């Protein structure tokens, strides 16, 4: 029995020496066609045979239509076949019957009309289009087809009549634009103006008026453009109100006047629009007015326009919501650019008077920045130090410190006093902050200040208070230990580290242990470092700890090389004793992970062990660890919600061997039991 063969394999994938193009392939395919498989050509011997063929085909089409009259493809194929037979009357009959079934189908009307046009039956096509638009006056495609036919025939008056019929139905803007383009093509600009009048009455949108103004600017006079834009503004204002006039009309009007060198007219139009439109609806108008003043006005006028209009905007916004502090920020910056100190103070005083309504910290977060910006401005710009100090005190008096506080305010106050050379008030501010509402940031800033002043006793006191306030903050213990180490007090440093690792709760205990271990290692206390690793393994038996322990053993220098330079120590060969110590740690870790059946951790440990042996071990050691490396396999397990998930499992060669040995023993025991206790092989 033959086996199924797969697709043939391509042995040589190199490019052929002679390249063949697609054009050549097609040409050869046509030239080499066999006449036996070409499409047969049907020939008719006489008229009777032709009539018989036509009758058979018509019966087939009629059967198709009787089975499914709704399917348009049957009608289209039938009509197309009749057209190919030059039976135009029959084709019209098919189309008319189809229209009885689908009188509102646009595609059917278009195919019918195109068939008449293709066969040069223009009058029939026009009659059909007239029927179509009468039947479906809301279908633009039929109107466009009708207009195209009339214009192609050169019947421009008839085209206008069709457009007039269509415009009575008030179509969309594209239809009006097409009518206007027709009149522009034949130079009938007065007719185009009349169409624009009807167009703006049906669609009184600003863009319609702007199109009319652009038309008049291109084909009319300046007075006509002004009349159009003035009429547009008056009409919309009378219909919808002065506030509803679109700013684009004012912008277009003013730009036109600027192009005509009528700058005063343009300025008057801009001002009229800004005075009558609300700020929310005149942003672009204000931007254009500013640009206009930059081009044609003086500097003072530009600045005054910007400040005045922006000031009015901010006044409207703060009236709507006085607690919107972001608006107050922008308002104050605007007045700062103006250079009027009294206005700046007035804005800041009005802003800080808007105290948040509730004692929730989220409502105060933006509010306190008003005091910060105000105090900084008084200090740097106004040079009023006492007023700045008063602003800080006022802010600290308003904040409900029993519920929440802001460290940035206390720190800003302290920095302010330091810049003024007042060290005692700065210390008092930070001390008061720590006493009323201690925070990690306040302790950190106070300690940094005292370190810069070399007041190490004060730093110790602050670290003690910080540790009592938040003993779980690892960075506090580490920074404290670094301070003591910098002062060469190693016993105090160790005591601080011991206190840190003995805390019941730490936010990042691994960081403290690492800092302690690094400290002992850098000081050359290798026995202490080993003890720390052993203590750490009692609390966190993690592969990373074991790997770090092994790396530590490798990096311990020999006793006679302790005084070598660091660069030479890095290049020295690792002794066999250090390798043995590291290998022993790896073995302990591996046995520990194996006993606890931690497969993932065991695999990661073996990977680190293999890397160690590849770098420092002998070929026998490398082969030994290679035999212990696991292989990955994918398995599925059932979850609590009766669903299955796929996970990665590790299979270790040693465990697999033990499992196979156990299976053999069980098999032998089963065989012994079946033989009634006899040894297999006995007679």
Integer Cα distance of 569 and 571 in angstroms: 5
CA distance 469 to 474: 13
623 lies in a domain? yes
Residue 222: inside a domain:
no
**In this structure, is residue 375 part of a structural domain?**
no
Rounded mean pLDDT, 404-415: 90
Which letter, b or e, does each residue of 183-221 get, where b requires 16 or more Cβ atoms within 10 Å of its Cβ?
beeeebbebbbebbeebbeebeebebbbbbbebbbeebe
Mean pLDDT of 174-179: 91
Q: How far apart are CA 250 and CA 256, in angstroms?
A: 10
Quick one: what percent of the chain has pLDDT higher than 90? Answer: 11
Residue 609 belongs to a domain:
yes
Task: For residue 644, tell me if it sits in a domain.
Answer: yes
Q: How many CA atoms lie within 13 A of 361 on its CB side?
A: 7
pLDDT mean over 238-244: 72
Residue 651 sits in the same domain as residue 596: yes
Question: Residue 428 domain-assigned?
Answer: no
pLDDT digits (tens, 9 = 90+) for 80-109: 888 888 888 888 888 888 998 889 998 989
> Domain total for the chain?
2
Lowest mean pLDDT among 300-304, 405-409, 491-495: 300-304
Q: Considering only residues 335 and 338, tell me which one the structure prediction assigns the higher pLDDT.
A: 335
Q: End of a domain among 484, 515, 540?
A: 540
Do 526 and 587 share a domain, yes or no? no
535 and 592 inside one domain: no
Give the Å distances, CA to CA, from 408 to 251, 357, 405, 449, 524: 47, 22, 9, 15, 42
Query: What pLDDT, on a 0 to 100 scale, did the predictor assign at position 299?
Result: 65
Q: How many CB atoms lie within 10 A of CB 20?
A: 9
Is it the case that residue 65 has pLDDT exceeding 50? Answer: yes
At which of 540, 561, 595 does a domain end?
540
Q: Rounded mean pLDDT of the chain?
A: 82
Same domain as 588, residue 529:
no
Band the pLDDT of 176: cuts 50, 70, 90: very high
**Looking at residue 683, what is its pLDDT?**
39
Q: Model confidence over 276-286: pLDDT tens digits?
A: 787 778 778 87
The predicted pLDDT at position 561 comes to 47
User: Regarding predicted confidence, which is higher, 304 or 345?
Assistant: 345
If one compares 142 and 312, the residue with the highest pLDDT of the two is 142
- Please determine, for residue 570, whether its predicted confidence score (pLDDT) is greater than 60: no
Neighbours of 127 (CB within 10 A): 13
Domain assignment present for 586: yes
Spatial distance between the Cα atoms of 653 and 170, rounded to a whole number of angstroms: 86
Residue at 493 is within a domain: yes
- pLDDT tops 70 at residue 399: yes
Residue 612 domain boundaries: 581-665
Q: How far is CA 191 from CA 1, 68, 146, 179, 232, in A?
A: 90, 51, 21, 10, 20
- Looking at the chain, the whole-number percentage of residues with pLDDT higher than 70 is 88
Taken as a whole, the chain contains a residue count of: 683
**DSSP per-residue letters across 131-192:** HHHHH-TT-HHHHHHHHHHHHHTT-HHHHHHHHHHHHTT---HHHHHHHHHHHHHTT-HHHH
Answer with the one of 540, 560, 592 that is the final residue of a domain.
540
Q: Which residues contact 471 (CB under 8 A, 6 or more apart)?
A: 503, 505
- Beta-carbon contacts of 238 under 8 Å, excluding residues fewer than 6 positions away, are none
Q: What is the pLDDT of residues 617-673, one digit of tens each?
A: 778 877 787 777 777 777 778 777 778 887 777 777 766 554 555 455 555 666 666
pLDDT class of 567 with cuts at 50, 70, 90: very low
């Amino acid at each position: 029995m033959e086996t199924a063969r797969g697709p043939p394999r391509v042995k040589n994938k190199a490019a052929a020496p002679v390249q063949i193009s697609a054009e050549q392939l097609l040409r050869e395919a046509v030239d080499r066609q066999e006449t036996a498989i070409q499409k047969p050509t049907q020939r008719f011997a006489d008229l009777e045979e032709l009539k018989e063929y036509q009758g058979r085909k018509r019966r087939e089409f009629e059967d198709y239509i009787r089975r499914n009259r709704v399917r348009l493809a049957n009608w289209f194929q039938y009509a197309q076949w009749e057209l190919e037979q030059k039976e135009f009357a029959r084709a019209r009959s098919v189309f008319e019957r189809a229209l009885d079934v689908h009188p509102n189908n646009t595609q059917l009307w278009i195919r019918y009309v195109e068939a008449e046009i293709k066969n040069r039956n223009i009058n029939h096509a026009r009659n059909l289009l007239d029927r179509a638009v009468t039947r479906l006056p809301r279908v633009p495609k039929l109107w466009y087809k009708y207009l195209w036919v009339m214009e192609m025939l050169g019947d421009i008056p008839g085209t206008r009549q069709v457009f007039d019929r269509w415009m009575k139905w008030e179509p969309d803007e594209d239809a009006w634009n097409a009518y206007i383009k027709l009149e522009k093509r034949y130079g009938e600009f007065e007719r185009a103006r009349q169409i624009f009048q009807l167009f703006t009455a049906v669609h009184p949108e600003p863009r319609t008026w702007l199109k009319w103004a652009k038309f008049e600017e291109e084909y009319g006079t300046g007075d006509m453009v002004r009349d159009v834009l003035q009429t547009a503004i008056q009409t919309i204002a009378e219909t919808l109100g002065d506030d509803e006039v679109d700013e684009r009309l004012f912008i277009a009007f003013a730009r036109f006047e600027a192009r005509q060198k009528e700058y005063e007219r343009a300025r008057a139009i801009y001002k009229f629009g800004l005075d009558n439109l609300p700020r929310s609806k005149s942003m672009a108008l204000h931007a254009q007015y500013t640009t206009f003043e930059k081009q044609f006005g003086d500097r003072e006028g530009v600045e005054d326009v910007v400040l005045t209009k922006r000031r009015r905007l901010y006044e409207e916004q703060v009236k709507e919501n006085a607690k919107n502090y972001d608006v107050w920020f922008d308002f104050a910056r605007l007045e700062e650019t103006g250079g009027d100190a009294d206005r700046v103070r007035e804005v800041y005083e009005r802003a800080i008077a808007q105290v948040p309504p509730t004692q929730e910290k989220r409502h105060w977060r933006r509010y306190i920045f008003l005091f910060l910006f105000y105090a900084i401005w008084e200090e740097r710009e106004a040079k009023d130090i006492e007023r700045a100090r008063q602003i800080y005190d006022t802010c600290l008096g308003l904040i409900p410190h029993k519920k929440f506080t802001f460290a940035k305010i206390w720190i800003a106050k302290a920095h302010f006093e330091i810049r003024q050379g007042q060290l005692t008030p700065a210390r008092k501010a930070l001390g008061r902050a720590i006493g009323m509402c201690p925070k990690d940031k306040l302790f950190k800033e106070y300690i940094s200040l005292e370190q810069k002043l070399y007041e190490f006793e004060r730093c110790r006191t602050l670290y003690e208070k910080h540790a009592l306030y938040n003993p779980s903050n690892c960075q506090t213990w580490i920074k404290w230990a670094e301070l003591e180490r910098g002062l060469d007090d190693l016993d105090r440093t160790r005591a601080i580290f011991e206190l840190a690792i003995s805390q019941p709760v730490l936010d990042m205990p691994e960081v403290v242990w690492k800092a302690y271990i690094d400290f002992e290692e850098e000081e050359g206390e290798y026995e202490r470092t080993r003890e720390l690793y052993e203590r750490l393994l009692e609390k966190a038996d993690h592969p990373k700890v074991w790997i770090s322990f092994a790396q530590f053993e490798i990096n311990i220098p020999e006793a006679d090389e302790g005084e070598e330079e660091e660069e030479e120590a890095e290049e020295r060969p690792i002794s066999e004793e250090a390798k043995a110590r590291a290998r022993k740690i790896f073995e302990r870790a591996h046995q520990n992970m194996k006993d606890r059946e931690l497969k993932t951790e065991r695999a990661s440990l073996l990977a680190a062990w293999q890397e160690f042996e590849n770098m420092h071990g002998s070929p026998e050691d490398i082969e030994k660890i290679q035999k212990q490396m696991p292989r990955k396999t994918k398995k599925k397990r059932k979850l609590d919600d009766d669903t299955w998930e796929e996970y990665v499992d590790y299979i270790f060669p040693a465990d697999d061997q033990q499992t196979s040995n156990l299976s053999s023993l069980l098999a032998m025991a089963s065989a012994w039991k079946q033989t009634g206790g006899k040894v297999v092989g006995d007679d």
